[in-house]
C-alpha cells in the first residue's frame, strides 16, 4: 500500500516575510492551521503582531519581528532572531514584495533600485541566509519565494517588477540545483491578481492596470488563501521531490 500523503506542517518552524497583510497574512494563518510554528516578519510590527496573535489563537507558537528585506543587515538580524527563538528554520516563505505600477518611461533610478532591492535582492539574500542555517544544522528544508505571473509573461506598467520577479524564477532554478545535495528544496509561487489591499489600491488609481484583470481566463480575482494552499503543499513532506519549480496559481493567465 502506498504511504499516506502528508500535507501537515506540525512542529515545522515556518518563516513568513510580509506577514502583516494580504497574501503573507493568509499564508501565516493557513500554515498555523496545519500546525506550523510561525516566525513572522514585516516592516510594520503592529500588523505583523496582529497576524501572530491570530496564529496563536489557532493553538501554535508565533512570534513577530520587524524586518526590512531591502536591507541585508536587517535580513540577517531577523534570521538571527528567529534562530535564537526557535533554534532552527524548516521553511522560508519569502513573501515580502513591492510594486508601483507606472509607464516605464516615468520610473526614476530610486524607484528602480527600491523595487529591485525588495523583490530580487532581498529575496535572494534571505534565501541564502536561511539556507546557510539549514546546511549548518544538517536539516532538510524548503525555501519558497512568492513571485508573480508577470515574472513569467511580463506585463505593461510593471517593467521593473516583472524583471525582478523573472530573476526570482532564475535564482529559484539555480539554487534548487545547488542545494539539492543538502536536501533543501527551492520553489516559487507565481500568483495572478489576488484580492489584497495593494492590488485594490492599484486598481483604484490606475484604470489601465484595472483592464488587465479582464485577461484572467477564469474570470475572477484569486483569493489570498488560494496562494496559501500552494505554499502549504510546497512546504509539506508531500512535495519533497518538487524543486526548482515556479508554480503559477493564475487562473490560466500564463497559459495564453
41-70 residue pLDDT tens: 999 999 999 999 999 999 999 999 999 999
Those residues with Cβ within 8 angstroms of residue 126's Cβ, 6 or more apart along the chain or in another chain: 17, 69, 75, 78, 79, 92, 94
How many other CB atoms are found less than 10 A from the CB of residue 57?
Answer: 11
Q: One of 86, 98, 161, 233 is an active-site residue; which one?
A: 161
In whole numbers, what is the pLDDT of the chain averaged over residues? 94
249 Rama sector, left if φ>0, alpha if ψ -120 to 50, beta otherwise = beta
Q: Is the pLDDT of residue 210 over 70?
A: no
| Higher pLDDT among residues 157 and 245, named by residue | 245
pLDDT band at 213 (very low <50, low <70, confident <90, very high): confident
What backbone phi and psi angles, to 5 degrees, belong to 10? -55, 125
For residue 198, the model assigns a pLDDT of: 72
Question: pLDDT tens, 71-118?
Answer: 999 999 999 999 999 999 999 999 999 999 899 999 999 999 999 999
Alpha-carbon span 251 to 144, nearest angstrom:
20
- Residue 79: per-residue pLDDT: 98
pLDDT at 4: 80
161 in catalytic set: yes
Q: Report the share of the chain in percent with pLDDT over 70.
A: 96
The whole model's pTM is what?
0.95
**Domains plus CATH for the chain?**
13-246 (3.40.50.720)
Three cell numbers written together for 174: 539555480
| Contacts for 50 with CB less than 8 Å, ≥ 6 apart | 20
Question: Which residues are CB-contacts of 72 (< 8 A; sequence separation ≥ 6)?
Answer: 121, 122, 125
Tens-digit pLDDT profile for residues 185-197:
999 999 999 988 7
Residue 178 Rama label (left phi>0; alpha psi -120 to 50; beta): alpha
Higher pLDDT, 254 or 144: 144
Q: How confident is the model at residue 205 (pLDDT cuts 50, 70, 90)?
A: confident
- What was the pLDDT predicted at 233? 98
- pLDDT computed for residue 2 by the predictor: 65
Amino acid at each position: 500500500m502506498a504511504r499516506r500523503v502528508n500535507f501537515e506542517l506540525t512542529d515545522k518552524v515556518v518563516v513568513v516575510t510580509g506577514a502583516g497583510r494580504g497574501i503573507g497574512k493568509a499564508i501565516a494563518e493557513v500554515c498555523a492551521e496545519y500546525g506550523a510554528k510561525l516566525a513572522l516578519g514585516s516592516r510594520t510590527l503592529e500588523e505583523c503582531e496582529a497576524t501572530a496573535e491570530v496564529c496563536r489563537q489557532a493553538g501554535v507558537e508565533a512570534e513577530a519581528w520587524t524586518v526590512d528585506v531591502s536591507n541585508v543587515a536587517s535580513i540577517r538580524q531577523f534570521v538571527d532572531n528567529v534562530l535564537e527563538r526557535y533554534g532552527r528554520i524548516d521553511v522560508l516563505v519569502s513573501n515580502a514584495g513591492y510594486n508601483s505600477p507606472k509607464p516605464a518611461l516615468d520610473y526614476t533610478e530610486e524607484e528602480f533600485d527600491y523595487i529591485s532591492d525588495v523583490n530580487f535582492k532581498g529575496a535572494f539574500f534571505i534565501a541564502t541566509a536561511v539556507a546557510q542555517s539549514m546546511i549548518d544544522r544538517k536539516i532538510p528544508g524548503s525555501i519558497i519565494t512568492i513571485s508573480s505571473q508577470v515574472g513569467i509573461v511580463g506585463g505593461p506598467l510593471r517593467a521593473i517588477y516583472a524583471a525582478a520577479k523573472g530573476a526570482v524564477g532564475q535564482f529559484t532554478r539555480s539554487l534548487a540545483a545547488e542545494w539539492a545535495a543538502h536536501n533543501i528544496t527551492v520553489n516559487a509561487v507565481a500568483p495572478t491578481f489576488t484580492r489584497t489591499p495593494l492590488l485594490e489600491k492599484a486598481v483604484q488609481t490606475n484604470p489601465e492596470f484595472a483592464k488587465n484583470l479582464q485577461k484572467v481566463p477564469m474570470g475572477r480575482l484569486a483569493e489570498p488563501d488560494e496562494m496559501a494552499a500552494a505554499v502549504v503543499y510546497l512546504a509539506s513532506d508531500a512535495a519533497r521531490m518538487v524543486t526548482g519549480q515556479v508554480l503559477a496559481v493564475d487562473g490560466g493567465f500564463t497559459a495564453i
